[in-house]
Amino acid sequence: MSGKGIHIEGLKKRYGEGDTAVHALRGVDMQIAPGEVVGLIGPSGSGKSTLLKCLGAVIDPTAGRMVLGDEVIFDNDWKVRDLRALRRDKIGFVFQAPYLIPFLDVTDNVALLPMLAGIPNSNARAKALELLTALDVQHRARAMPSQLSGGEQQRVAIARGLVNRPPVILADEPTAPLDSERAMAVIRILNDMARQFETAIIVVTHDEKIIPTFKRIYHIRDGVAHEEVGEGRGFE
């Protein structure tokens, strides 16, 4: 394959040492092309979040190799000096829990990353509002996170994960608190992002409504990822 998208080879992650060690990943191989949205499924405790955290440089893998775009980021050790810059510039995270900043309003929660990247505040806010509109939460743009419903908070967190147009998006149960119409809207936006910006996207999900939308699915079992052909019905 070409040097684009996401490549994972023989990825292992062990938590702890000795008798109590947990072998969460035992040699995971995955390839996600630019512009592709793949589903990641598997039982609770199978290692889905662990895999996303390794790829997102949130935790240290034990062994293996990870390539993002044409950059080898891990080869039995980190190959990137500045992991914070890697996380900020290359990876969009959408987590299970929204983790919004409580003292910033909705717009600034989304605009913060582009502002930190040096984009003028008014442009950053305009980008934020564009995504908030696409996610149908623009009417809450000036509200504080504590004033939002769980589903609204999640949509704001999704906007924040997408706003910098990262080449890789890692989404852990992004649609869990949403009704089916809004869950589909989120999947549609992720697919649009992937197509428009050549983003490689991994979506961890248990959501029966969205699983049929994927063309390709990785199923984690016993610490190994098995590739499956999805129904790929799309998202209309």
Ligand X SMILES: Nc1ncnc2c1ncn2[C@@H]1O[C@H](COP(=O)(O)OP(=O)(O)OP(=O)(O)O)[C@@H](O)[C@H]1O
Cα 151 off chain centre by: 17
Alpha-carbon distance 84 to 177, whole Å? 29
Give SS3 for 79: coil
Give the footprint of Mg ion on residues 10-49 (CB under 5 A). 49
24 binds, among ligand X, Mg ion, none (CB under 5 to 8 A by kind): ligand X
Report how many residues bind Mg ion under the rule CB under 5 A: 1
Quote the CA–CA distance of 147 and 25 in Å, as a whole number.
39
What CA–CA distance (Å, rounded) separates 201 from 207? 16
Query: Contact residues for ligand X (CB under 6 A)?
Result: 15-16, 22, 24, 42, 44-50
CB of 45 to Mg ion, least distance (A): 8
CA distance 222 to 236: 34
- Nearest approach in angstroms of CB 22 to ligand X is 4
CB closer to ligand X, 113 vs 169: 169
Binding string, 43-62, against Mg ion, x = CB under 5 A?
Answer: ------x-------------
Q: Which CB sits closer to Mg ion, 51 or 162?
A: 51
Handedness of CA 194, 4, 29, 1 (dihedral sign): positive
How far apart (Å, rounded) are the C-alpha atoms in residues 192 and 131? Answer: 12
Q: Using the minimum distance from each CB to Mg ion, give the nearer residue, 49 or 107.
A: 49
Nearer to ligand X, 42 or 167 (CB): 42
Q: Based on CB atoms, which residue is closest to Mg ion, 31 or 96?
A: 96
Residue positions counted in the chain: 236
* 50 binding partner (options Mg ion, ligand X, none; Cβ < 5 to 8 Å by kind): ligand X
Tell me the torsion sign for CA atoms 170, 175, 180, 181.
negative
The residues binding Mg ion (CB under 5 A) are: 49
